[in-house]
């Protein structure tokens, strides 16, 4: 079996996608893998907190509206941990509201992506934020 060609530098970038929608998780996984990134998926905030600890991602995409622990709470908890405070978090939401963006920044998110996102938008966000981690 031959290994797939991976863009230079992309192998090192591990991306965590947190979303309660299976469709969004799978789309993001396909797009990111096509971009040559390692992908870890989580279906809610609690699942995500365990995976952040286990996998130490370089970048996190986090849905806002999730059951049990919403995206704002999840982001705030991740950012409070000194080990992960510098990991960029990009909020995902179907709403493109100014309030949501501001609230996301207050809990420490670096950016905001409106769903449904395109492959290009997702990969551009990784290129923009994924190198600093």
Give the number of other CB atoms < 10 A from CB of residue 64: 23
Q: Model confidence over 105-130: pLDDT tens digits?
A: 999 999 999 999 999 999 999 999 98
Position 5 in a domain: no
Please say if the pLDDT value at position 94 is more than 70. yes
- Whether 85 maps to a domain, the answer reads yes
28 in a domain, yes or no? yes
* Res 1: pLDDT: 40
The domain of 82 spans: 14-127
What is the per-residue pLDDT for 33?
A: 97
In a domain, residue 48? The reply is yes
Q: How far apart are CA 119 and CA 125, in angstroms?
A: 10
pLDDT at site 116: 92
- Under the banding of pLDDT at 50, 70 and 90, the label for residue 42 is very high
Q: How many domains does the chain have?
A: 1
Q: What is the structure's pLDDT at 96?
A: 80
Residue partners of 111: CB distance under 8 A and separation at least 6: 88, 90, 91, 125, 128, 129
pLDDT (tens digit per residue) in 12-32 = 799 999 999 999 999 999 999
Q: Which residue has the higher pLDDT, 119 or 9?
A: 119
Domain contains 123 = yes
pLDDT at residue number 52: 98
3 found inside a domain: no
| Residue 95 placed within a domain | yes
CATH of the domain at 50: 3.40.50.2300
Q: Is residue 4 assigned to a domain?
A: no
Question: Tens of pLDDT along 44-92?
Answer: 999 999 999 999 999 999 999 999 999 999 999 999 999 999 999 999 9
């Amino acid at each position: 079996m031959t290994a797939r060609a991976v863009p230079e530098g992309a192998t090192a970038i591990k991306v965590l996608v947190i979303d309660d929608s299976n469709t969004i998780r799978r789309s993001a996984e396909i797009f990111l893998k096509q971009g040559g990134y390692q992908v870890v998926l989580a279906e809610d905030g609690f699942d995500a907190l365990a995976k952040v600890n286990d996998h130490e991602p370089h970048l996190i995409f986090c849905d806002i509206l999730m059951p049990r622990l919403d995206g704002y709470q999840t982001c705030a908890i991740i950012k409070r941990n000194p080990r992960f405070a510098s990991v960029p978090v990009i909020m995902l939401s179907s709403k493109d509201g100014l309030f949501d963006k501001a609230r996301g920044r207050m809990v420490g998110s670096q950016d905001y992506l409106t769903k449904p996102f395109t492959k290009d938008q997702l990969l551009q966000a990784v290129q923009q934020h994924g190198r600093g981690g």
